[in-house]
Amino acid sequence: MIAVLAAEDECLAVREFFELFKTPWEFYRNGTRCSVLICSRNNIPANSAKIVLLYDSQENAFDRASRLQIRSRRSVAMLSHNGSRIPVYGNCLAFEASGTSVVAHESSREPAAVAMTSGKQQVVRIGFDLFQEVQYLLTHGQPASYAEIPTLELHIALLRNLILECSIPLVEIPPVPVGYNFIACLTHDMDHIGIRNHKFDHTMFGFLYRATMGSMLDFCRRRKTLQQLGANWLAALKLPLVYLGLAADFWNQYDRYLEIENGLKSTFFVIPKKGETGLDGRGDRPPRRAASYDIEEQKDLLKKLQSAGDEIGLHGIDAWRDSNVGRQEQEIISRITGVAETGVRMHWLFYDERSPAVLEAAGFTYDSTVGYNQTVGYRAGTSQAFKPMTVDRLLELPLHVMDTSLFYPDYLNLAPIQAEEIMRLLIANAGRFGGVMTVNWHDRSIAPERLWDTTYVRLLEQLQSSGACFLTAARAVSWFRQRRAAVFEQADDTLKIKSPVNGDPHLPGLRVRSYRPDVGVGKFSETQLTNGREIRLTA
């Protein structure tokens, strides 16, 4: 059992951290018996733990008593552990090397964590505040410059390694569904539906430029093939026929998405109101944000997607800042789809620190807005669905990959081969840490003038070959809820692990992973935990 002695203002972050690192733990009380004691910004109490992990970015009584010298104190540091880079966004100490260095500052190689023996105990003194870092990541998110680093997963991995290297058995429920290596969540923001809705506006003129001159420039830069160049020029020539109803609207690619995904269920986020810009963070109304389609006229399309097993969610306008408006936007979608509970992703990814509570008050079951516009990666530092600090039930399904982030000139501006390489790195992380990889490929992105369908097909092939379990956003969130609902009960030398009895039997089961250091550090065995089942493990 892990016992945690943390500052009062860290308790919510502690609870959420141990939902992500799903292992038996409890808050420390006087007389608590534990094999691992984590102290955060606290003095070490009398205890019988085999290992004590002391997280603190300030000099404390233990440092003075053990004569541990602090060399420096830095704000925002890059640490190195077992070949991984771990950003620290708060303060971080550098120690004199009076113990065994566990984690080092990347630039100076000075220890940021040292292990030493104190009496019969192993004590690891770590020079940053773990739960402050967790709270920062889940509330503010990390800057785009570190987007590629799954920071929170690395904090979990570091803690796990420290425990196992001290030969302490460990049990966890990893974020890995039975039969798969991770979850893949395919989503599509429905920003346009068809080009027929755009006449003599910025969208139409932008299309004409990108389909003609822009495509020629991309061809010269080897970012588009001759076939794609021809397809875009042909689309530009056909545009008047599309407006006259004499040619099919080439931006309506929903049948093509169903064909490409071939039974892999996905989620389509739809805008509730035509012509509504909503307010941005400065109180302005950006005209380009307004949708040009009327969702009431798209009922047949939405029903067709639902019949194929796809999910319809809300692509919200003002839901992120006003719960009453959010409730109204949700009701529009629910009335059309017949589904009472709806998830949301905000249009243009508008979001602030108040948004989770606002969205929960509006009645949404999940949000999938936390991601980057300008790059891809882990804005919250995690590959898992998590509960923001200010809510009781709403879960955040983080967004990891967006096509426009990859290809837009103002963002990463990658060639297709470069985009495939960066996505392979994210898939490799998903295989290593589990969790979910959430992808957003916009409705018009496989149509002229973008023609990003080849990259999308290759992404799906890579996900499939890497052992992904494809779930809609709502079902992915449901799987994480079932994992969160599993409970550990310790009684003497027996650990009982119970799964929820009312879980969805059609979702993949949970894994129970048992590490036994006596058979090798990092070695583990696994048991499946299915719906309503109980597992007993004996020390």
pLDDT of 539: 62
Rounded distance between C-alpha atoms, residue 460 and residue 287, angstroms: 34
Sign of the Cα pseudo-torsion (355, 25, 5, 98, in order):
negative
Q: Answer whether 384's CB lies under 8 Å from 350's CB.
A: no
63-94 pLDDT per residue, tens: 998 899 998 888 889 999 999 999 999 999 99
Size of the chain in residues? 539
Mean pLDDT for the chain? 94
Peptide bond into 449 cis (omega under 30): yes
388-397 pLDDT per residue, tens: 999 999 999 9
What confidence category does residue 530 fall into, taking pLDDT thresholds of 50, 70 and 90? confident
pLDDT of 517: 75
Rounded distance between C-alpha atoms, residue 278 and residue 301, angstroms: 25
Share of the chain above pLDDT 90, in %: 84
Q: Answer whether 13's CB lies under 8 Å from 389's CB.
A: yes
Rounded distance between C-alpha atoms, residue 192 and residue 307, angstroms: 21
Question: Domains of the chain: which residue ranges?
Answer: 2-172, 182-194+253-478, 195-250, 488-538
353-403 pLDDT per residue, tens: 999 999 999 999 999 999 999 999 999 999 999 999 999 999 999 999 999
The DSSP secondary-structure symbol of 35 reads S
Between 29 and 391, residue with greater pLDDT = 391
Rounded distance between C-alpha atoms, residue 229 and residue 252, angstroms: 19
Q: Is the pLDDT of residue 531 over 80?
A: no
What confidence category does residue 522 fall into, taking pLDDT thresholds of 50, 70 and 90? low
Q: In degrees rounded to 5, what are phi and psi of residue 27?
A: -70, 140
pLDDT of 27: 95
Amino acid residing at 322: D
Please tell me if the domain spanning 2-172 has the same topology as the one spanning 182-194+253-478. Answer: no
Q: Span 404-429, mean pLDDT?
A: 97
| Residue 272 CA from chain centroid, whole number | 25
6-21 pLDDT per residue, tens: 999 999 999 999 999 9
What confidence category does residue 245 fall into, taking pLDDT thresholds of 50, 70 and 90? very high
Q: Is the pLDDT of residue 501 over 80?
A: no
What confidence category does residue 177 fall into, taking pLDDT thresholds of 50, 70 and 90? very high
CA dist list (Å): 500 to 17, 180, 231, 532, 537: 20, 21, 52, 5, 18
List alpha helices for 313-354, DSSP H: 323-337
Please classify residue 207 by burial: count the beta carbons closer than 10 Å to its beta carbon, then call 0-12 exposed, 13-18 middle and 19+ buried.
buried
Q: Span 181-204, mean pLDDT?
A: 96
Q: Span 505-515, mean pLDDT?
A: 92
Q: Span 440-447, mean pLDDT?
A: 98
Q: Answer whether 85's CB lies under 8 Å from 160's CB.
A: no
Which residues are CB-neighbours of 405 under 8 A, at least 6 positions away?
372, 373, 374, 375, 376, 411, 412
Fold of 182-194+253-478: TIM Barrel (3.20.20)
pLDDT of 504: 83
Q: Is the pLDDT of residue 25 over 80?
A: yes
Rounded distance between C-alpha atoms, residue 151 and residue 156, angstroms: 9
pLDDT of 247: 97
Q: Is the pLDDT of residue 519 over 90?
A: no
Q: Answer whether 69's CB lies under 8 Å from 98's CB.
A: yes
Q: Answer whether 152's CB lies under 8 Å from 137's CB.
A: yes
pLDDT of 275: 96
Rounded distance between C-alpha atoms, residue 239 and residue 247, angstroms: 8
The CATH class for the domain spanning 2-172 reads alpha beta
Q: Span 127-131, mean pLDDT?
A: 97
The encoded tokens of residue 251 equal 């931006």
Q: Span 447-467, mean pLDDT?
A: 98
